Amino acid sequence: MILEKNETFTVTEAMIPPQMSVTIDDAREAVRIFADLRMRYQGAIKEISTKLEVLDNEFSVKHDYNPIHHMTSRIKSVDSIFEKIKRKGWPMEMESVYKVMDFAGVRVICNYLEDIYRVEDSLLRQDDIKLLKRKDYIKNPKESGYRSLHLVIEVPIFLSDRTYHMPVEIQIRTVAMDTWASLEHELKYKRMEEMPEHVAQELKDCAKMMAELDDTMQSIHKML
Ligand code: GTP
Ligand code: MG
């Protein structure tokens, strides 16, 4: 249970399922820890989103053009954090929660291919941003055909008592890459069983067509 802004929440004995062997104090402590973590990660998302908006506005004023089409963000739910810890085979303890690098995620959808690297450079040039991990699935697409630039960066958030350095996963992609990823995700996760090989191949072919589309649109943009 994670609290939204201005919400108050009291953990009572009645809320603990009988099969769970936790004390009421443990349950209260867990809710408090997660509410605190979520607040810090939300702060980190706000910091990153503002930085990206400022860069997009600057580009628009200087070049009369916006590299960012739109942005979305999300905080991972408690359930998917524990699902990930289980999938990775990490021990079920708080230390593992702190190891989840995509607790906070920002997705940046760009108009053209070159905008992706332009946005990356401008963001990483900032003094308070530290790059922790980078995976370029555009130069090296995943087996599925998935393309995107993934960065895990660390951003400081300034609270009343101290400064925290929070990791945020940023996925930067074009509109075409995003269209493919959204549809493929929908097709994959709606069904329980493995995707048949010929369908997986069709999807890979689609990803290739999207990549060609990106190259062509980039060339057209350069011509004008
Ligand atoms: P995770 O534990 O899955 O986060 O592994 P990881 O840290 O190695 O992350 P990875 O770089 O594979 O990126 C994971 C995220 O990228 C997923 O949560 C998706 O948002 C996206 N992603 C990766 N592969 C695919 C794919 O084949 N299809 C789609 N639609 N999205 C993908
Ligand atoms: Mg992930």
Specify the residue with its C-alpha closest to ligand 1, atom 8: 135
Q: C-alpha angle with apex 144: 146 to 41, nearest 5 degrees? A: 45
Measured CA to CA, the distance from residue 91 to residue 85 in angstroms comes to: 7
Pocket of ligand 1 (CB under 6 A): 84, 102, 135, 142, 144, 146, 150, 181, 184-185
Which is nearest to 1 in space by CA: 39, 27, 23?
A: 27
Specify the residue with its C-alpha closest to ligand 1, atom 23: 146
ipTM of this complex prediction, to 2 decimal places: 0.95
Q: C-alpha angle with apex 85: 82 to 91, nearest 5 degrees? A: 110
User: Which of 82, 99, 106, 144 best tests ligand 1's pocket when mutated (most atoms within 8 Å of CB)?
Assistant: 144
From the DSSP assignment, how many helices (H) and strands (E) are in the chain?
6, 5
Ramachandran quadrant class, 145 (left: phi over 0; alpha: psi -120 to 50; beta: rest): left
pLDDT at 1: 47
pLDDT at 48: 98
DSSP string, 2-36: -PPTT------GGGS-TT----HHHHHHHHHHHHH
Q: Give 116 Cα–ligand 1 centroid separation in angstroms.
A: 18
pTM of the model: 0.91
Say whether 169 is catalytic. yes
Q: C-alpha angle with apex 94: 90 to 98, nearest 5 degrees? A: 80
* Per-residue model confidence as pLDDT tens digits over 127-157: 999 999 999 999 999 999 999 999 999 999 9
pLDDT at 104: 97
* Per-residue model confidence as pLDDT tens digits over 20-48: 677 787 788 888 888 999 999 999 999 99
